[in-house]
């Protein structure tokens, strides 16, 4: 699936739920289903700055595609970073850079997330974008 198709998939998945608590549960489930995080990468240089909780995003290249190991110490945040890694991971860095990073408005997360968590999601997106910029130059 393309980045846009994945964005649409998660938007539709969140739109199914009318109740805010059900949307929270969906985000929590995404975190529970995340891939195991390699402990050797739980380092400060991989932490996302600007998040209320601790979030790690570790880039790596596999078959010329930019991929991410992700984790968080907060369940809701872990769900969000898992979704973002699924959307943007396993793509060419140039594809990531040319995609739409304004997910908050598309997912309407600003309605269910606190301003602090919303800012944290923007920080996660910026980190992914920064990694894509770095790897697009290689």
Positions annotated as catalytic residues are 51
Structure tokens belonging to residue 58: 């570790």
Cα 25 to Cα 88, 112, 131, distances in angstroms: 22, 12, 29
Residue with tokens 């570790």: 58
Residue with tokens 């602090």: 116
| C-alpha gyration radius of the chain | 14
Q: How many CB atoms lie within 10 A of CB 14?
A: 18
Q: Bridge-partner residues for 70, per DSSP?
A: 57
The answer to whether 4 and 99 have CB atoms below 8 angstroms apart is yes
Q: Please give the Cα distance from 58 to 37 (Å, whole number).
A: 10
């Amino acid at each position: 699936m393309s980045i846009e198709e994945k964005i649409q998939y998660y938007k539709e998945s969140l739109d199914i739920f009318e109740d805010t608590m059900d949307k929270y549960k969906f985000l929590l489930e995404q975190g529970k289903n995340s891939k195991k995080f390699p402990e050797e990468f739980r380092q400060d240089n991989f932490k996302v700055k600007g998040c209320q909780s601790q979030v790690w995003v570790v880039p790596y290249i596999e078959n010329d595609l930019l991929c991410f190991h992700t984790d968080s110490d907060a369940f809701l945040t872990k769900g969000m970073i898992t979704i973002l890694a699924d959307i943007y991971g396993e793509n060419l860095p140039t594809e990531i850079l040319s995609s739409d990073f304004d997910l908050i408005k598309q997912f309407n997360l600003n309605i269910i997330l606190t301003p602090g968590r919303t800012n944290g999601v923007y920080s996660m997106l910026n980190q992914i974008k920064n990694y894509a910029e770095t790897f697009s130059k290689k």
